[in-house]
Structure 1
């Protein structure tokens, strides 16, 4: 007698097989890109898109890509990981341009894409506005992964990461407000849209802040790395789902929770080892999800449908490029009037060309109701722009950054940073050996041998640092930057110890940050 598997069991088995196939292909591409030197010239995320396109061209479909899958399963961890790793100190210095790009920039993008499509094609304005809203999001998945691969400067990374994190939430809110207009159940009223936007964003900020601070204080009560790691995962998905259920922006909620936990919660509630474990966990999860998302983006392309809407796609690409240029250069110069940290022309150029579109735009396009007659046009247009963005703009980013001399010294700076870290580590090892109580119980000859090994390695590291300083004069400024960062970290960790011990009820503001900033300004004035 045999037991026949139920329909549910067969469905689960089929889905599991599809997932394993997708995962195997994704990880194979990611591995190959690390092994062969030629493939290292292309960011592995873009390689995944190319492989997905190849599979789509021969009509091999790995799995159906639904908007719910991206928005509810893939998007929260990707947003949270980027928000967890972004440093508030750096983001605060660029808050003016980031806010302008993420809020005003989305409005300019929606209007700038919609009106040319409405004027030069047969598409209605309501439908064109949906395309503009879908394409106003600079996808954090694409941008963050690409910048990390290419090793862009810290300032440029913060600008693009900050914009992509916050404008995702604004773009999603704009899309949700506009989607009902072509269906005839909503109307274009600026005051209603403004109130709805404030409500969406306000709920997102509130829920994200409550969960972020709540988990931050909860982790103070215990020191269990695996539990604290799990809490960050729960906060990413929980924030998104709760915020969406309450009628707010889940994207904004996740970003706010991630920034709070990464900058505040990890300080007051986690010891250094736990912080490292949690960061490594999110690095892995981002790599894991990235590998799947980018492969599926390429795999979902329908070449026949794209060909039939080729003219519309070309018009959309031109509108997106021109609108982003106007937005970046205009808002960038306006922000320079009010911000202490200026955005120069080469950085603005990279911000313009680096406004890649990706999974969020695709998810929004796929979420258009099927009863809308122009749904396929919207999907094809967005897919075409995303494809151009990832392959043309993405593959040319490295050349652009090199041409503008924005990453020429990144390999040297990275090597120099590693040497400084190794120097500090070796000094701490020597200090430990000098003050270790076990020294009396170990053979003195063996103990001295270990000390000499460490001293020899420390000497080699110091020689390499000296050689690099002589060869690259600009690296000395990196040492000062790292010293400032270490001083600020020591101050923050000290406050966190007092909070964990119950001797402080709230995190104190940084004294050193203002002192260092003033000292830097004074030095700059003296040089002038």
Structure 2
């Protein structure tokens, strides 16, 4: 055994000494150092706290590009095969299926018809007003149809923006990315002159791509969900989610489907179904924290490298086309959001209405980011218009991230869309404080019972904690009594907690071998959806 290990290290040693590998490691460490430095500075200096972290990284990357400091070569394969699957999986994992189902009509309309409107407007507009070739117009249109509102969604969560807006924007982005990638692949052959456009053939190929993606994602998602019912090993279950993100993408792409749609499907199933029936609360927390870290880590690298890859001379050369593309994109986004929003409101009824103010934010918050860049960079070198496509896409992306991204928060405040969200955040914080202080009191009572410390000292500590706990409880009671919205919010949170306890209990029985299959939840139809229904 010793000889085989030594032989292994002898065989690997030349590769470790390869100058190229050493240089890549240096570049990677440099990127991480810069990213973490930006993260630290954004928390140290208050003036930087109002800038979303991803946009701050982009600005630093642009600064490095101005100084002609290139950190690393960013290939489209790196984004599509290494960065994109975990980012999509993390977003899908955290997207609540019940909320997505509630707002499925606007999400589907924006994700599918919105892409068609955006591509059509850019294709015809760039040819008519900018004199672009058909190939350039097709590829720019397909690339820019992919929305990537990472920083906007993060801002929504931080400010506690209405759940409807957050769900619609995040849901649209997830499925929109898949539709945009499929559209790009379909239009690439036409741009290269290898295929002729045929509506029926294009629709059929689109349905095949999406169908295979959903099928593969569903098989892997449900398969892993039932597999994790049989054991409770947090690190293994965490690793399985990571493998599923990459494995689903690669398998779907290999079988001719949409890897993006497949990953989103798997993430939705595991986040909403598998994590409930196959993971206990502690494991779910471990897995969620892991994906939160991975998303932060990858976004840090992606946005820094995107800014670093900008070629300013190319942007200057194509400035007229970039400006026209920005105007066309904003106009197309307005048509899709407001026209499809009106259609959605007509279909869903008043309870699910998207208000006009909300539609304004959806329009302005439709940023373009890593997916658009990856698609533009993946244009084959054989196409003479490749650099033109890349310059236009980069220019539009920078406008959306720097102008739209940095003005979204002031727009939210101007439209008064924060509404009751700050008070809900305050309620959540006080609820967390109450739970934490209650646990502290339980620990002190145990210490007093077991006589672990001096009784007088423990009694003094209990008096201090009890005073704080009483104050928090009084503030919570006042908040609930004075605000109907908070009472309904608290009721809905309690309902979700009770449903989760029921699902966790069934999962424990399955892991113990006392049940073979998960039972249909009984409380789903018993507990009232709204506080008013309980009276």
Same fold (TM over 0.5): yes
The match for 1:79 among 82, 88, 96 is: 88
Match of 2:187 in 1: 178
Aligned length: 520
- Shift in Å at residue 317 of structure 1? 0.4
Q: Deviations over 1:316-368 (max 9, x none)?
A: 00110000000011111111122241111111110000000000000000001
Instruction: State the superposition RMSD in angstroms.
Output: 2.5
- Shift in Å at residue 50 of structure 1? 0.8
Aligned: 1:244 with 2:245: no
- Shift in Å at residue 256 of structure 1? 0.8
Match of 1:88 in 2: 97
State how far apart, in whole Å, the 2-side matches of 1:381 and 1:77 are: 27
Flag the 1:510–1:162 CA change in 2: closer, same or farther, 3 A. farther
Aligned: 1:163 with 2:169: no
Match of 1:253 in 2: 262
- Shift in Å at residue 408 of structure 1? 5.0
- Shift in Å at residue 260 of structure 1? 0.9
Contact 1:358 1:390 in 2 (8 A): yes
Q: Secondary structure at the match of 2:46?
A: coil
The match for 1:465 among 473, 476, 482 is: 476
Match of 2:300 in 1: 291
Aligned: 1:439 with 2:452: no
Consecutive unaligned residues of structure 1, counting only runs of 5 or more, are none
Aligned: 1:102 with 2:111: yes
Match of 1:116 in 2: 125
Aligned: 1:305 with 2:317: no
Consecutive unaligned residues of structure 2, counting only runs of 5 or more, are 1-12
- Shift in Å at residue 61 of structure 1? 0.9
The match for 2:288 among 276, 279, 289 is: 279
Please say which of residues 115-124 and 155-164 is displaced more in the overlay: 115-124
Please say which of residues 380-389 and 53-62 is displaced more in the overlay: 53-62
Flag the 1:507–1:403 CA change in 2: closer, same or farther, 3 A. farther
- Shift in Å at residue 444 of structure 1? 8.1
Contact 2:149 2:365 in 1 (8 A): no
Please say which of residues 88-97 and 441-450 is displaced more in the overlay: 441-450
State how far apart, in whole Å, the 1-side matches of 2:532 and 2:140 are: 45
Match of 1:477 in 2: 488
Match of 1:416 in 2: 427
Flag the 1:86–1:51 CA change in 2: closer, same or farther, 3 A. same
TM-score (normalizing by structure 1)? 0.92
Contact 2:31 2:71 in 1 (8 A): yes
The match for 1:396 among 379, 391, 407 is: 407
Please say which of residues 332-341 and 25-34 is displaced more in the overlay: 332-341
Contact 2:487 2:531 in 1 (8 A): no
Match of 1:32 in 2: 41
Contact 2:367 2:400 in 1 (8 A): yes
Match of 2:360 in 1: 349
Contact 1:365 1:378 in 2 (8 A): yes
State how far apart, in whole Å, the 2-side matches of 1:322 and 1:473 are: 39
Aligned: 1:488 with 2:499: yes
Flag the 1:440–1:57 CA change in 2: closer, same or farther, 3 A. closer
Contact 1:205 1:256 in 2 (8 A): yes
Please say which of residues 83-92 and 409-418 is displaced more in the overlay: 409-418
Aligned: 1:223 with 2:232: yes
